[in-house]
Structure 1
Amino acid sequence: MNHSKKTTSAFQHLNLINLSVLKEAVHLNNELILIDNFNFASTSDDESLFFTQYPVKLSFTVVIIVFSGSMHYRINLEELWAYSNDLITVQKGAIGEFLHSSPDLQVAVIAFSNELFHMNDHLEVAMKMQQMLYENPVKHLSGESLKEIRMVYELMKKKIIENDNPFRKEILQGYVRALMYTILHKLLETLQQVPAYIQNNRQHEIYMQFIREVQRNYQKERSVAYYADRLCITPKYLSQTVQKASGRLAGEWISEYVILEAKALIKSHCYTIQQISEMLHFPNPSFFGRYFKKKVGCTPKAYQKNIR
């Protein structure tokens, strides 16, 4: 794997422009990025492709296809492993963090904007798809399915460099749609094997709705009461339900998201503590400092100093 291009600064939001400058990347107007390490030698270094050693919020959807080896990462605070023949789908707005990869990791990365792939004519299907991908970010593929998706990727890679093709974008949009609907089909096959009582579990449904609301609002709202109101239930019932479904209190999940973003912003070295406090809508830096210390065990300045 090639590691000659080392990332030197963090991004609060990892966007497609950031990816397009990588030497491994080919792109279409910063709307679609393709990256792979098929032609690079393996290495034991943990840094790979665009993956960063700190949490980032994605401003695009990314599909990662693992052809060999393994990778260890977090998506929205959940720690996951992916192995050979696994397909990872991470949606726009998710917080991701790359942790480690095996020396023999071989992957292809397809990153695209929501403008390139949308389902405005099928909103009900789109919402179902988003929910399924959120709940099932990793899908293990059969050899036949992996071969099919590899073929789509190779077609995209070939077409994306045809700069003189006036229909290049439309063709690539078709490939992206084919890829996403293939992923959806594989997820539907998996869900058909899940017992109905699990699929329709009310506690799990409330927990997933709560997490989605937290993802959208944690920068501004940190009270359990706010999220309970959004779900039209009482704070007590929300807390009890989330704890039963996840083993953690609702307030802990909210704090985890706030602290995760705070750490990412601090690690970026792009903002002052005061600016971060304002970005996360704390009343003042002192309040933010006390909140951070209570959750992390040190002040934001001490945390920043330790990671230099």
Structure 2
Amino acid sequence: MKRENVFLNLDLSDLSAQPGALHIDNKIILIDNLDDVADEENANSLSFANYPMKLSFTIGLIVLSGGMKVKINLEDFEARAGDAIVVFKGNIGEFCSLLPDTRMVVIAFSDELFNVVKHINTALSIQQYIYTNPVFHLDEEFLDEALDIYKKMKAKMTETNNIFLEGILHGYAQVLMYSAYNYFVQRKKNTDNSLECNRNQEIYKLFMQSVQKNYMHERSITYYAGVLCISPKYLSQVIKNVTGRLASEWIADYVILEAKALLKSNKYTVQQVCDMLNFANQSFFGKYFKRKTGVSPKAYIKS
């Protein structure tokens, strides 16, 4: 059965159309409500994804006051003053509610610009850390640094006659991303002193790429080990060592996320979702879904 798109895509062009948004060729977008009156209407003006949307870019939000509830990949999170939220391209985000006094800044990067930091030795480990911890508290020093860079970028955006504007903004963006990566390295060192990029990191990267491509029809660790030309036991050990989670858990994350989206779309029956995700029968799908979520597919639809 051919699957229709469940989520609408949120593109940089959609974001740049938001009130007060500043951008440079839809590669860097800045939005904030720092100068607005603190009320519910102005807080909600930044709520640009009021239903689940798949991002075609990487976005970072810093909450300066108030707070909000969001869903990232259909999981609930709450952010308060001093917290940051990072959502990578391809993930699913949704604003659920914002407090009336919420003040925040938003920075979105195109994939082209975000890729400048992917060569960093620790990039994979940092991205995996952020993927599992998309909402986190910033210490005062880094919060001030990030906000200072944001304000400088915002000020430069108004210099329309500056022939080097794009290069300057790209430079500021790189400073911000490198500073952020350094912050995460130091943060992660508190819990894990091993951030070396090695063969295990490469296996993890290739495994995740393969899962993202094939999870709709393959859930077997043996399959993914075969793609990488290694044994299932070795793949399991590597993924556990790199991420602290089982390979099967990463596969299940994608399967369950897709299943939840399909079920909540109200477009398909449980049997149709079962077929789309290549389960042998509805009974097996129901048991798999309940084991991972604690509820049956039908109960999830009603929740």
Q: Aligned partners of 2:71 and 2:277: how far apart in 1? A: 30
Q: Aligned partners of 1:117 and 1:77: how far apart in 2? A: 24
Q: Aligned partners of 2:195 and 2:74: how far apart in 1? A: 22
Equivalent residue number for residue 167 of structure 2: 170
SS at match of 1:163: coil
Q: Does 1:60 align with 2:54?
A: no
Matches within 5 A, 1:116-127: 116-119=113-116, 122=119, 124-127=121-124
Equivalent residue number for residue 232 of structure 2: 234
Equivalent residue number for residue 102 of structure 2: 105
Query: 1:52, 1:97 within 8 Å by CA — same for their partners in 2?
Result: yes
Q: Which runs of 4+ in 1 moved over 6 A?
A: 287-294
Q: Aligned partners of 1:213 and 1:169: how far apart in 2? A: 35
| RMSD over aligned Cα atoms | 4.4
Q: Aligned partners of 1:60 and 1:69: how far apart in 2? A: 25
Equivalent residue number for residue 7 of structure 1: none
Q: Aligned partners of 2:86 and 2:22: how far apart in 1? A: 20
SS at match of 1:64: strand
**CA 1:21–1:65: 2 relative to 1, 3 Å:** same
Quote how far apart the aligned CAs of 1:52 are: 2.2
Q: Does 1:22 align with 2:35?
A: no
**AA partner of residue 137 (structure 2):** H
Q: Aligned partners of 1:288 and 1:34: how far apart in 2? A: 47
TM-score in terms of structure 2 length: 0.71
SS at match of 1:180: helix
Q: Aligned partners of 1:58 and 1:88: how far apart in 2? A: 14
SS at match of 2:224: helix
Which of residues 13, 28, 35 in structure 2 aligns to 1:32? Answer: 28
Q: Aligned partners of 1:57 and 1:70: how far apart in 2? A: 22
SS at match of 1:117: helix
Query: 2:262, 2:268 within 8 Å by CA — same for their partners in 1?
Result: no
Query: 1:259, 1:292 within 8 Å by CA — same for their partners in 2?
Result: no
| Structure 1: 5+ residue stretches without partners | 1-9
Matches within 5 A, 1:283-294: none
Query: 1:27, 1:33 within 8 Å by CA — same for their partners in 2?
Result: yes
Deviations 1:219-275 (CA, angstroms, capped at 9, x unpaired): 45455543354464438x959x88xx66996464343122244357x37xxxx769x
Q: Aligned partners of 1:140 and 1:79: how far apart in 2? A: 16
**CA 1:44–1:165: 2 relative to 1, 3 Å:** closer
Quote how far apart the aligned CAs of 1:84 are: 1.1
Q: Aligned partners of 2:77 and 2:168: how far apart in 1? A: 33
Equivalent residue number for residue 253 of structure 2: 253
**CA 1:217–1:51: 2 relative to 1, 3 Å:** farther
Quote how far apart the aligned CAs of 1:290 are: 9.3
Residue correspondences, number? 279
Equivalent residue number for residue 161 of structure 1: 158
Query: 1:220, 1:281 within 8 Å by CA — same for their partners in 2?
Result: no
Query: 1:117, 1:173 within 8 Å by CA — same for their partners in 2?
Result: no
Equivalent residue number for residue 282 of structure 1: 276
**AA partner of residue 152 (structure 2):** L
Equivalent residue number for residue 193 of structure 1: 190
Equivalent residue number for residue 5 of structure 1: none
TM-score in terms of structure 1 length: 0.70
Q: Aligned partners of 1:252 and 1:291: how far apart in 2? A: 14
SS at match of 2:30: strand
Q: Aligned partners of 2:96 and 2:282: how far apart in 1? A: 27
- Identity rate of aligned residues, in percent? 35
SS at match of 2:161: coil
| Structure 2: 5+ residue stretches without partners | 1-5, 290-295
SS at match of 2:15: helix
**CA 1:261–1:124: 2 relative to 1, 3 Å:** farther
Deviations 1:69-104 (CA, angstroms, capped at 9, x unpaired): 222223335432222111222221222233333232
Quote how far apart the aligned CAs of 1:43 are: 1.2
Q: Aligned partners of 2:158 and 2:68: how far apart in 1? A: 29
**CA 1:226–1:48: 2 relative to 1, 3 Å:** farther
Q: Aligned partners of 2:134 and 2:277: how far apart in 1? A: 35
SS at match of 1:153: helix
Which of residues 70, 73, 76 in structure 1 aligns to 2:73? Answer: 76
SS at match of 2:191: coil
Query: 2:126, 2:185 within 8 Å by CA — same for their partners in 1?
Result: no
Query: 1:44, 1:102 within 8 Å by CA — same for their partners in 2?
Result: no
